[in-house]
Amino acid sequence: MVSFILRRILMLFPTLLGVSIIVFLMLHITPGDPAELLLGERANEQALTEMREYLGLNRPLHEQYGLFLKRLITLDLGETIRTREKVWTEIAQRFPATIELSLAAMIISCFLGIILGVVSATRQYSIFDYLSMIGALIGVSMPIFWLGLVLMLIFSLVLGWLPMSGRLTIGVDLETITNFYVIDAILTRNWTAFKDVIWHLTLPAITLSTIPMAIVARMTRSSMLDVLRQDYIKTAKAKGLSHTTVIFKHAFRNALIPVVTTIGLQFGILMGGAILTETIFAWPGVGKWMFDAVMQRDYMVIQGGTIFIAGVFVLINLSVDVLYAVINPRISVK
């Protein structure tokens, strides 16, 4: 197990190297001058030249990448062009918001998706099965930005039940310790802020959970159907075990293996793909931060943020692989 984990950690470096090359090249072939965007269209040529020299944009492309790679090896993601803050500092401030939103969306996805999948598999070809799979198909096909706007229109503007944006209502005090507002509210026993945080978290979490919930439901159903057809399930039924025991003790655990893979991948995708949701709901996370950086062509933020998200995604995949042996000890990691 230890050697397996070490091998997977070593694979992290060529993956991030490839990501860094792709992101670096894509940013530099994109039209636009970061110096001009930073100083404005009315900046004189001398000011633009000095800014390009400060940013290293006047050097050959391979030298620019060499400097970027050198900083990356020392875990230095550079400074933002707009605020001159360290990229790590900006990530530390915004990443808890993205984690909080992604976790909430993943909890909703796993809870509802697994239940729908298991019930659909045990009641195959029933009305519930057809309706749940149609709902899963709609969930996968529905654009997040459209769904977010529709939910905002219904639950915020028409019904007034949920807030439209932000993490906390203006005027509600919360002492930030970890920047995870839910945890901070619990640690400080600020139950007013806790309710307000959950209130703000509900709508974007539901919006973000639709696609992974549909995928988890379909994967759970498919995996459960495969397991229920196995001979040992028939043997368990022949021994007189109850339907609940057969489903949850024998079938469900073995069916979880591909489901865990799906959940791990979806969680990584959520963290990197929450840009639309965070932008629509003005959620101050990494996604909205990188969206603003793209609009302002702050390439240091885009490079650093992409590398960071790629690293988190690979670590999540590593965690999923390790969980295989926990769920089913028969699986070898060799």
Q: Based on the domain organization, do 170 and 202 belong to the same domain?
A: yes
Does 233 lie in the same domain as 103?
A: yes
Q: Is residue 78, in this structure, part of any structural domain at all?
A: no
- Rounded Cα distance, 208 and 214, in Å: 11
Q: Which of 137, 138, 134, 133 is nearest to 150 (CA)?
A: 138
The count of domains in the chain is 2
The residue from 73, 106, 133 where one domain ends is 73
pLDDT at residue 2, as a whole number: 67
Could you give the CA distance from residue 156 to residue 150 in angstroms, rounded to a whole number?
Answer: 10
List the CATH number of the domain containing 211: 1.10.3720.10
Chain segment 176-217, per-residue pLDDT in tens: 888 888 898 998 888 888 998 999 999 999 988 888 888 888
* Selected residue with higher pLDDT from 115 and 326: 115
| pTM of structure | 0.79
Residue 124 CB partners (closer than 8 Å, separation 6+): 225
Separation of alpha carbons 263 and 248, rounded Å = 19
Both 231 and 112 in one domain: the answer is yes
Do 208 and 290 belong to one domain?
Answer: yes
Question: Residues 283-294: what's their mean pLDDT?
Answer: 84
> Based on the domain organization, do 123 and 241 belong to the same domain?
yes
- Residues 273 and 195 occupy one common structural domain: yes
What average pLDDT does this structure show over 279-291? 86
Do 175 and 64 lie in a common domain? no
Is residue 302 within 8 A of residue 23, CB to CB? The reply is yes
Residue 245: is its pLDDT beyond 60? yes
Domain containing 6 equals 2-73
The verdict on 60 and 120 lying in the same domain is no
Same domain for 64 and 108, yes or no, is no
At residue 64, what is the residue type? Q
Whether residue 173 sits in one domain with residue 257: yes
* Amino acid symbol at 34: P
Give me the pLDDT at residue 275, please: 79
As a whole number of angstroms, the distance between CA 46 and CA 226 comes to: 69
**Mean pLDDT value across residues 51-69:** 77
Residue range 127-152: average pLDDT? 84
pLDDT at residue 324 in the model: 65
